[in-house]
Amino acid sequence: MKLPEELQYIQNSLKPQRTTDARLEGKVCVITGTTSGIGYETAKRLAQGGAHLVMVCRNTEKAASVQQELAQEYGADSDVVLADFADLAQVARAAEEIRGKYPQIHLLINNVGVFNRRRRLTHDGFEMTFGVMHLASFLLTRLLTPNLKAGAPSRVLFINSEAHRFGGFSLKDLNWEKRPYVGLWAYGAANIAKLHTASVFADALQEHAVDVNVMHPGAVRSNIGMNNGIFYRLYKRYILNLFLKDPAQSAEAIYFLSAEPALEGETGKFFNMTIEEKPAWYAVKASISQQVYDKSEALIRPYLKENV
């Protein structure tokens, strides 16, 4: 039985996934949030595949421990760049450091994520989910674009979520000041903002051979949401986790989208793990996408250099 288009993600999540033996030797891969969950597993998979990793993380000790593990387990050479994504100035500084060290970047994986049950604000006064998952990743991508162009053919992968289908996005209320805050909707909204802007990035960068795609990494066990109150943490640990998969599966899917040679030139697509899928129509409506991009650009403008 074929489900209606909006529900096909349920069938897609049960399909066999694609894998690749391709290697990433000599490739500079920038990845955010490798100290936990999907990012951590992906860092290991990329290191195993021979990539040179540049890990953008906020926690010095956790990042150093991952770096040490990659060196010991895979003999991998990697770099750590520190930035709290709740502070755009730190993200801009991290991008500057990366740009100075790596004139050519071949892969950028925007993985950092957060889920809040209650409204919280970033250092810059943005609603936390929107600020961290969308605006900070948008800023990093904008600032690293010249290096991605220099490394072309190169790829940008935005880690997203089927939760974008929850909706919640309002251009008139990005910070949830006018509506009652609902964590799942705020999470949906931030992912919708990422989808809109990814499609604009994809169109703009196609002629430069920088492929930009978006993916849902599966429903997997990780630390997301564990910053919330005790009841949510208990629910996640003892109930939700029973239904979630191993994040190593997400890492294998992300590796496929990052390394598979046959995907070169595929851009502007949404994947459920490795299966191409249509995202919710309202998350990629072209007229809105350009508005979301322009608004995001305006919000991060203080952190942009003239040449990017």
The nearer residue to ligand NAP, 28 or 159, going by C-beta atoms, is 159
210 binds ligand NAP (CB under 6 A): no
The nearer residue to ligand NAP, 159 or 202, going by C-beta atoms, is 159
Active-site residue flag, 187 = yes
Residues 130 and 169 sit within 8 Å (Cβ to Cβ): no
217 binds ligand NAP (CB under 6 A): yes
Q: Is the omega angle on the peptide bond into residue 103 within 30 degrees of 0, that is, cis?
A: no
- Among 9, 30, 31, 39, which residue interacts with ligand NAP (rule: CB under 6 A)? 39
- Write the binding mask 41 to 60 for ligand NAP: x where contact by CB under 6 A, - elsewhere: -----------------xx-
Nearest alpha carbon to residue 269 among 257, 255, 256: 257
Residues 257 and 274 sit within 8 Å (Cβ to Cβ): yes
Task: Tell me the backbone φ, ψ of residue 214, rounded to 5 degrees.
Answer: -125, 145
- Among 147, 154, 161, 272, which residue interacts with ligand NAP (rule: CB under 6 A)? 161
DSSP-assigned letter for residue 239: T
How far is the C-alpha of 257 from the C-alpha of 213, rounded, in Å?
Answer: 9
Which position among 9, 102, 187, 293 bears the catalytic label?
A: 187
Q: Which residues pair with 214 in a beta bridge?
A: 158, 270
DSSP helix/strand/coil, 49: coil
Q: Applying CB under 6 A, which part among 9-17, 80-88, 140-148, 291-299 lies near ligand NAP?
A: 80-88
Annotated catalytic sites, by residue? 187
Q: Which residues of this chain interact with ligand NAP, rule CB under 6 A? A: 33-39, 58-59, 62, 84-86, 111-114, 132-133, 159, 161, 216-217, 219-220, 222-224
